[in-house]
A and B are shown apart, each in its own frame.
Chain A
Amino acid sequence: MVCFRGLKSVSNAKIIAVSASNDGATPGWRLGVREAFGVPAAVVGPAYIGYGSLAEEYGLSIAHSMFATVAIWALPGQLILIEMHAIGAAAIAIVLASTLSGARFLPMSLSLLPRIRDPRHGNATVYLAAQLISMTGWAMAMRRCPDLRSEDRIPYLIGFQLTCIAVATACAVSGHLLTSALPPLVRLGLVFLAPAYFLVILAGELRTRVAAIAVSCGAVAGPLLYVVNPQWSVIAAGVIGGTVAYLVQRRYGRRV
């Protein structure tokens, strides 16, 4: 559940303001679009500007960044993809690592979809909604759905997420353009944006014991294993660091 707590810490800081409950006059999708502009867009935007800058730095095309953003729609998975591609990792290693990083979507859609399902929307719509879910949208929909009429919930989620995806894609493109236009020093800052963003997000996750142990184990294992074998280091750091963390919290976590 990478990023979830980080987002929570943002919302705890009362940046995400939940507007008054729906009076029933506004269609669900419009409410979603309206609420996505504001803090959710402001959180997603800089992250994707950073992503675009990094992609530009690695010589990737704007078209590729747009495709990756729309198709994968998960920043950790995208970052793993372009970082591993930059060091020339094997295709299978990239796909495995990126896919594993997306495992958080399983409990997200598992928990959200029973709440938003409505007989008026077909199965295809539900599976489409699953593709659009992001951490922000999930957290927002979990909070908003109780206030919304049952048939408005899926349109709300779709409107909210399509807006986020549009903002993210536009920001990734502007990241590319800014990086190629700006002087080297500013460019350096932009390229640093994405890793700094994740550093801070991960720091925000350190509140729960499981996350704290897993993040620490991974942080140690990542650079060490990179020295041993750059190609497989991301996935090895995940599996080795994650397994150690899992065993540690199983052994000691419950008693305290």
Chain B
Amino acid sequence: MEDAFELWSVTAACAVGHYFWRGLGVALSGRVTVNSELFNWVTCVAYAMIAGLVMRIMIFPAGMLAESALVDRLAACVLALAAFYAWRRNLFVGVSAGVVVLTLASWARTFG
């Protein structure tokens, strides 16, 4: 119960944090030009953070993904990217390829 309360509070705080940026954009629009160097840095941080998280999930996953083999996950990543580029940057093809490859590879392993 306490744990659930904490999770919901943290979620609400994340929502407030997101609204901070959205609302600030409205408040500043038409008045201020954002310091572009500061903004470049924030953009870099945002990119690096989500890229770091995705790679961390691929290499050290939590929960059910941890039961799949590292090799299978990396193969799924490589083939997802290959399919994405091969099909003229089609998001659906890339993501589907990744999901199918991991599923099939894990299924194949059930045969020993």
The answer to whether A40 has its CB under 8 Å from any CB of chain B is: no
Do A110 and B25 have beta carbons less than 8 Å apart? yes
Quick check: B15 and A72 within 8 Å, CB to CB?
A: yes
Q: Which residues of A contact B63 (CB under 8 A)?
A: 54, 57-58, 86, 191
Could you tell me which residues of chain B, from 43 to 81, have a CB within 8 Å of some CB in chain A?
43-65, 67-68, 73, 76-77, 80-81
How far apart are the CA atoms of A46 and B106 in the complex, in Å?
21
B contact residues around A243 at 8 Å (CB): 41, 44-45
Task: Indicate whether A155 reaches chain B with its CB closer than 8 angstroms.
Answer: no
Interface of B is mostly: helix
- Contact between chains at A218 and B11 (CB < 8 Å): no
A184-225 contact mask (Cβ, 8 Å, vs B): 1 or 0: 111111111101111111111100001101111111111101
Q: Considering the chains assembled together, what is the distance between the CA atoms of A210 and B37 in angstroms?
A: 12
Q: Which residue of B lies closest to A53 (CB)?
A: B64
Which of B12, B17, B50, B95 contacts A202, CB < 8 Å? Answer: B50
The number of chain A residues touching the other chain, given as a range, is 35 or more
**Alpha-carbon separation in the docked complex, A222 to B58 (Å):** 11
> Is A31 among interface residues, defined by CB-CB distance under 8 A?
no
Instruction: Supply 6 A–B pairs (Cβ within 8 Å), ascending by A.
Output: A91-B10, A103-B21, A106-B22, A110-B29, A130-B22, A200-B81
Is A163 an interface residue when CB atoms closer than 8 A count as contact?
no
Who on chain B is nearest to A58 by CB?
A: B63
Q: Judge whether A218 and B52 touch: CB under 8 Å.
A: yes
Extra 13 A-B pairs, beta carbons < 8 Å, given A192-B102, A196-B77, A202-B47:
A10-B91, A87-B62, A94-B10, A104-B21, A105-B25, A185-B103, A186-B103, A195-B58, A200-B80, A205-B47, A211-B47, A217-B51, A218-B51
Dominant SS among interface residues on chain A? helix
Q: B91, A127: Cβ atoms under 8 Å?
A: no
Alpha-carbon gap, A218 to B48, bound state (A): 4
Tell me the complex Cα distance, A209–B99, Å.
29
Q: Which residue of the partner chain B has the closest CB to A241?
A: B48
Closest to A126 in B: B26
CB neighbours of A94 from chain B (8 A): 10, 14
Using A99-B17, A188-B65, A210-B43 as known contacts, say yes or no to A114 and B57 having CB atoms under 8 A apart: no
Residues on A with beta carbons closer than 8 Å to the beta carbon of B19:
130-131
Residue of B nearest to A70 (CB): B15
Q: How far is B25's CA from A103's CA once the two chains are assembled, in angstroms?
A: 10
Residue A169 CB within 8 A of the other chain: no
Which residue on chain B has the smallest CB distance to residue A103? B42
